Amino acid sequence: MWKQLLRETRTRILLMYTALLMLIIVASIPLYRYLLFRGIDNRVQEDLAEERAFFLSAYENWARSPNQTLEDLKNFSQNYLRDTRPEDDNFQIIIIDGELFRSNPHYLIEPISPGSQLFTSWKNLTQSLVEEYAASSDIGAVLYSADPLMLNGEQRGVFVVAHTSAGERQEALVSVYLFARLMIVTLLLSLVCSWLSAGRLMAPIAELSKAAKSVSESDLTQRISPPQGNGELANLANTFNAMMDRIQATFDSQRDFINDAGHELRTPITIMQGHLELLDDDPQEIKETIELVMDELERMGRLVNDMVLLAKSERPDFLKLETIDISHFTEELFAKAKALANRQWILKIEASGQIVGDRQKLTGALLNLLRNATQYTQASDQITLSCAFGENHHICFSVSDTGEGITIADQQRIFSRFARGSNRQRKPEGSGLGLAIVNAVVEAHGGQVKLTSQPGQGATFQITLPPGIFLENSPVKNPPLRNAAQKPAAVPPSAVP
């Protein structure tokens, strides 16, 4: 249990958070102590300065009177100490003729009592002095100010204001200890609350992990509920759901493709198997059976080739680019189209210049459209192949016919794999992948295919290729258009060298 708890992400985050906070606390306690002691020393020095200034003011007023005697100085000192009350841990000391005369309070602690090193230095003082004296650990430091007392131009005494820091610093240390305890208790409480809160915040991750574990080839429906807001966890949940949508769509597409391919391949295999099982020694029947088997094998070969072409359409090296002259390319297509069937063929060329694309695959895509047009028409119908400039310098290739047209229901699925129209003049020889291949080739070029049709009024397939950059020298330097910003370019004749 503990190992599992330590392996949890929120536990690791909280441990790192705890270590960081502990470092901050360890660093903040000495800093807090330093600032607290510094504040105490500043306040003490202000108190000492105030008491010193108050005494010196009274002393100067007394010294202005003429003919003052030593007895007058003693009386002044005695009255002053009697009428004033020093702050806590402050001592006011008056030394006259090297001896302690009076102090307030009356008792003096060892570092400042008569006979001590500090007291001896005060007796020999000849000028004002403000210093700090390091005493024992029990007393702490002694902060003091000392000023000589003059009588008729002769120094006869010293006034000292001293403060021992041990008491206030001890109180400060108590507050430091309380501060440290409070910080530790606060840290522990915050860690418990953070650990519980982190569990709720990271619930989407746990749900994501659970959903990921339950995902299998047969179950791609798992999704997670994103938390409210637009934070990282919400983005993660939405990204996971979007990824699962794409994976499910891909698996569904592959499953349908495999099922359809299996169905399409099973039909010729069944036909061949049935004829071979019934084959006898009749030479004519053997010849007919061989012709039928060869025909079905040829159809299977076309189906496999179409499936391979569709599979390759997702690859970045699907296109082999070259510069194509629009007029010459369209004329070649028209010549090939007229051999497909006996129809009223019409050619319209309203664009000239060059485009960059895969000549072979564009030829195959347009011939697919032209071949489909022959399957929807009769000998008296017209089939028109045209090329023209569209909006924003797009180049448009169109295949139009005056045949039976395509129903609305068929239009919605006609570009799907293995889709066939429901009303034809005759059964096609294709695999049902023709229009899917057309769509894949055009999308690889960065274009789109548009169908316009009404039942009984013919159909028009329009391939639109977006504008791009004309390659003056070698078109093979252009990267595949699926991964490139450059698109097929229709270039006016004036730009052609």
CATH number of domain containing 236:
1.10.287.130
Contact 268, 297 (CB under 8 A): yes
In a domain, 202, yes or no: no
Reported confidence tier of residue 68, pLDDT bands at 50, 70, 90:
confident
In a domain, 181, yes or no: no
Q: Percentage of residues in the chain with pLDDT exceeding 70?
A: 85
Burial of 139 (0-12, 13-18, 19+ CB in 10 A): middle
Give the pLDDT confidence score for residue 421 in this predicted structure.
60
Looking at residue 395, what DSSP letter applies?
E
The pair phi, psi for residue 94, each rounded to 5°, is -120, 125
Task: Please count the structural domains in the chain.
Answer: 3
Neighbours of 32 (CB within 10 A): 17
Do 370 and 478 sit in the same domain of this protein?
Answer: yes
In a domain, 456, yes or no: yes
In a domain, 329, yes or no: yes
Contact 241, 224 (CB under 8 A): yes
Do 422 and 454 sit in the same domain of this protein?
Answer: yes
Do 297 and 329 sit in the same domain of this protein?
Answer: no
Do 280 and 421 sit in the same domain of this protein?
Answer: no
In a domain, 409, yes or no: yes
Domain that residue 288 falls in: 232-312
Among residues 431, 409, 437, the alpha carbon closest in space to that of 418 is found at 431
Tell me the pLDDT tens digit for each residue of 399-412: 999 998 888 878 77
Domain boundary among 312, 336, 364: 312
- Tokens describing residue 459: 């159909």
State yes or no: pLDDT of 6 exceeds 80: no
Do 261 and 125 sit in the same domain of this protein?
Answer: no
Residue bearing tokens 């982190």: 198
Give the pLDDT confidence score for residue 185 in this predicted structure.
85
For the chain, the first-to-last Cα distance in angstroms comes to 77
Separation of alpha carbons 355 and 330, rounded Å: 12
Domain boundary among 118, 147, 171: 171
Contact 310, 417 (CB under 8 A): yes
Q: Percentage of residues in the chain with pLDDT exceeding 90?
A: 17
* Alpha-carbon distances of 244 from 247, 256, 333, 406, rounded to whole Å: 5, 18, 43, 35
In a domain, 212, yes or no: no
Do 41 and 151 sit in the same domain of this protein?
Answer: yes
**Least confident span in 252-256, 271-275, 361-365:** 252-256
pTM of structure: 0.48
Contact 384, 401 (CB under 8 A): yes
Nearest 5°: CA angle at 163, between 162 and 168? 180
The pair phi, psi for residue 384, each rounded to 5°, is -115, 125
Strands 395-401 and 382-389: antiparallel
Separation of alpha carbons 99 and 95, rounded Å: 5
| DSSP string over 89-109 | TEEEEEEETTEEEEEESS---
In a domain, 479, yes or no: yes
Separation of alpha carbons 106 and 86, rounded Å: 12
Do 364 and 444 sit in the same domain of this protein?
Answer: yes
Give the pLDDT confidence score for residue 306 in this predicted structure.
74
Give the pLDDT confidence score for residue 401 in this predicted structure.
94
CA 256 to chain centre: 36
Domain boundary among 294, 312, 330: 312
Q: What angle do helix axes 434-444 and 359-375 make, rounded to 10 degrees?
A: 150
Identify the three-state secondary structure at position 405: coil
Do 339 and 465 sit in the same domain of this protein?
Answer: yes
CATH assignment of the domain containing 480:
3.30.565.10
Do 24 and 127 sit in the same domain of this protein?
Answer: yes
Identify the three-state secondary structure at position 131: strand
Dihedral Cα 21, 25, 27, 33, nearest 10 deg: 160
Do 238 and 134 sit in the same domain of this protein?
Answer: no
Do 287 and 389 sit in the same domain of this protein?
Answer: no
Do 240 and 95 sit in the same domain of this protein?
Answer: no
Tell me the pLDDT tens digit for each residue of 450-495: 999 988 889 999 999 987 533 333 333 333 344 333 344 444 443 3
In a domain, 445, yes or no: yes
Reported confidence tier of residue 350, pLDDT bands at 50, 70, 90:
very high
CATH assignment of the domain containing 18:
3.30.450
Separation of alpha carbons 460 and 91, rounded Å: 111
